[in-house]
Structure 1
């Protein structure tokens, strides 16, 4: 069996952060059933341009492989009944909604424990389920600003800068998945579930890590650094070579020794200004010009090859294309392909979360309501019961055609 093959998760999720968190669980074998609100067309991620076809997009495919889909209207009595029947047989309810919504629509532990005392309810929200911003929507871009990330990113003389990736969304998804797994472990041990109150805001603040510790305890004021330099380790930054940029990082003294030896500048080892981390940091304005003058004498590829051979942490600054075709990317099996009726084949990066030697398998993201027949069969509904629910609008009005 796959590591999580015995886990059933009901996911009221959409767009990026929530589906990103659960896709790692799905890749590990968890049965993730997406509950999609019918009147709005389901997961908004289905409609993200520019690579979109009808109710599908490459954005949606990225975050929803290996999942199932059911259109269900929780505002209708029949829809709520189906949801509660699903909860009785599930291990977790997972959502990414505004912080005040889980309680309003009854998907918290207090609202569901009478159905399943061991249910784990993981709510990934913008700002959490408590606090002055609990009822506000949270988006990655806003949170990168609120949490101070943008004040740390970019050139010192440039504007505050967002990361090129939605890192608050993605790290928030990871935190939600980790919280959910912790809750499942506790529920299995104790027979009692509970709530995971996870937020993008908490995640973003938590990611401030050691700069926050420095600030809180020593008054350190974080600032943007030239050439993406590390705030305390010198040299550890981007350097310009003859033709391009590359990265060199001396996170240990032994790397500094290897670096200057490879550069043909052994005299720097005897220079008191550069004798250790502290000295190099205090005299960075004198050291960095010496290194910059040397690096521009050869190409980036030449320096990277020689420094790698010498055991110095280094690497090129790749384009996305170069990163995706790197020999290590291929060797680690980080690209998977699924068959798709419109796109033909969809290639995408896979989850880095792994356990065991069994290779992962992948299937395309589900069409909206694709697993309607599978779900009603598993719940043991008779034809008459299904017809009653359909007529009551439980699955939307009109119900999208489902295929198992």
Structure 2
């Protein structure tokens, strides 16, 4: 039985910054109930509102990236706007920012300054290179972080230039690590009563998932390069063409799984063939083994081949498009495509919540606020107690 209270309902987050890395952290916290107050400069919206495809003039990325958030406007470049932010900080648990290092300090909003206002504040800082080091002042985007972190060098095919993965993986990886850091700091605060800085860099977040590339180089003299769809020395693990001119993925590199693959192919003798009976043997004879497997897959339509592989317990699957995802019953059963009411577009489909919690699962209450400053009155009047007169003054001065 699930409970109605979300696990982060007692956490208030101020989200500064734009685009992906910082705001994606805000989205993750908001999915589990945190009150996320997104700040945008008056007249200068987050570019994410207009990125990607659109429908009837409405950007289709923004409602996902900013779901569950409240939107206020505030000019942090002006002293009065900085004072307003400090009033917000008094009521907050977390502040997320992803400006270039030094920007918050330039605005007199350093962690030292804000922690004087609220010693319990956790400041989640996301940047290209981190808050320290010789590169800290450089501009950094996810693409550069992916390159410097080593990911681009191993992505693509060996006879072609380094490739992009196809999504903004550097930004979202960094947001995931930043969110982990935020939750760790919130947990630690229960013991110390004090906040701290969570410093997350794009290049470090990418580098941290790069497996063994450093000992590979230093201890084995091996530089991992682009290998296309294969895993060096690990076979079979590849994509294979089928009779109906599509590709399927098969991963059967463990001894037991490989034996089951051989049975699925009606060639059980391959499992005992000295060329393929060991992990190292399969790695050394990868090209030959892959050609034999593809000879089998090309004789069958993809669904038939996958049905046989599933029956034998061999990890395999189609390479999904958006259409495949929408039609898949497993996605549907696990509520990975949810529909949220959008004020302009009606029923709006978006990815469900990850991870699944058994007792206090997350929830998407609404898509990203369609209007900048939609929650100005709610936040400034109800939370901070501003009068109508003060709100008018701030608007006239272009502070909000």
- TM-score, normalising length: structure 2: 0.92
Counterpart pick for 2:365 among 362, 367, 387: 362
- Number of the residue aligned with 1:402: none
* 1:108/1:121 contact within 8 Å kept: no
Aligned partners of 1:108 and 1:218: how far apart in 2?
44
1:239 aligned counterpart, secondary structure: strand
The equivalent residue for 2:242 is 241
Q: 1:262·1:310 contact (CA, 8 Å) conserved in 2? A: yes
**SS across alignment from 2:85:** helix
Which of 247, 259, 262 is the matching residue for 1:260?
262
Partner of 1:197: 199
Query: Paired residues, what number?
Result: 392
1:109 is aligned to 2:111: yes
Equivalence for 1:157 = 159
**Which residue of the partner structure matches residue 48 of structure 2?**
45
1: CA distance, partners of 2:321 / 2:52: 22
Alpha carbons of structure 1 residues 157 and 306: separation in structure 2 relative to 1, 3 Å: same
Match of 1:132, SS?
A: coil
Is the partner of 1:209 in helix, strand or coil?
coil
1:140: Cα distance to partner? 2.2
The alignment's C-alpha RMSD in Å is 1.9
Displacement of 1:13 = 2.5
Shift in Å, 1:198: 0.5
Q: 2: distance between equivalents of 1:300 and 1:212?
A: 38
Task: Give ranges in structure 2 of 5+ residues lacking alignment.
Answer: none
In structure 1, the residue matched to 2:314 is 312
Offset of residue 72 of structure 1: 0.4
Q: Provide the residue aligned with 1:26 in structure 2.
A: 30
Aligned runs of 1:6-25 on 2, under 5 Å?
Answer: 6-25=10-29
Contact 1:119 1:192 in 2 (8 A): yes
Q: Say whether the 8 Å CA contact 2:42–2:398 is kept in structure 1.
A: no
SS at match of 1:346: strand
Aligned to 2:40: 36
Please give the alpha-carbon distance, in whole angstroms, between the structure 2 residues aligned to 1:20 and 1:350.
14
Q: Tell me what 2:299 maps to.
A: 297
Q: For 2:308 and 2:251, how far apart are their aligned partners in 1?
A: 14
Deviation at 1:190, TM superposition (A): 0.5
Query: Is the CA contact (8 Å cut-off) linking 2:130 and 2:199 kept in structure 1?
Result: yes
Is the 8 Å Cα contact of residues 70 and 370 (structure 1) preserved in structure 2? yes
1:285–1:338 distance in 2 versus 1, CA, 3 Å: closer
Cα distance change, pair 49–292 in 1 and its aligned pair in 2 (3 A): closer
Deviations 1:158-212 (A, max 9, x none): 2221101111111111111111111111222211111111111111111212333
- Counterpart CA distance in 2 for 1:210 and 1:356 is 34
Cα displacement (A) at 1:79: 1.4
Query: CA shift at 1:149, angstroms?
Result: 1.8
Specify whether residues 94 and 53 from structure 1 end up closer, same or farther in structure 2 by C-alpha distance, changes over 3 A only: farther
Q: Distance in 2 between matches of 1:9 and 1:354?
A: 22
1:381 equivalent in alignment to 2:381:
no
| Alpha-carbon displacement from aligned partner over 1:119-162 (angstroms, at most 9, x marks no partner) | 00001112211223222222222332333322212222222211
> Contact 1:108–1:195 at 8 Å: present in 2 too?
no
Equivalent position to 1:78, from 77, 80, 87 = 80
Structure 2 partner of 1:220: 222
1:233·1:250 contact (CA, 8 Å) conserved in 2? no
Instruction: Give distance in 2, aligned partners of 1:178 and 1:251.
Output: 32
- Report deviation, 1:231: 2.2
Give 1:49 deviation, angstroms.
4.6
Residue 103 and residue 124 in structure 1: after superposition, are their counterparts in 2 closer, same or farther (change >3 A)?
same
Partners of 1:130 and 1:111 in 2: CA distance: 18
* 2:350 corresponding residue in structure 1: 348
Structure 1 residues 293-321: Cα deviation after superposition (integer angstroms, max 9, x where no partner): 22222122111111011111010112222
Give TM-score, length-normalised by structure 1. Answer: 0.92
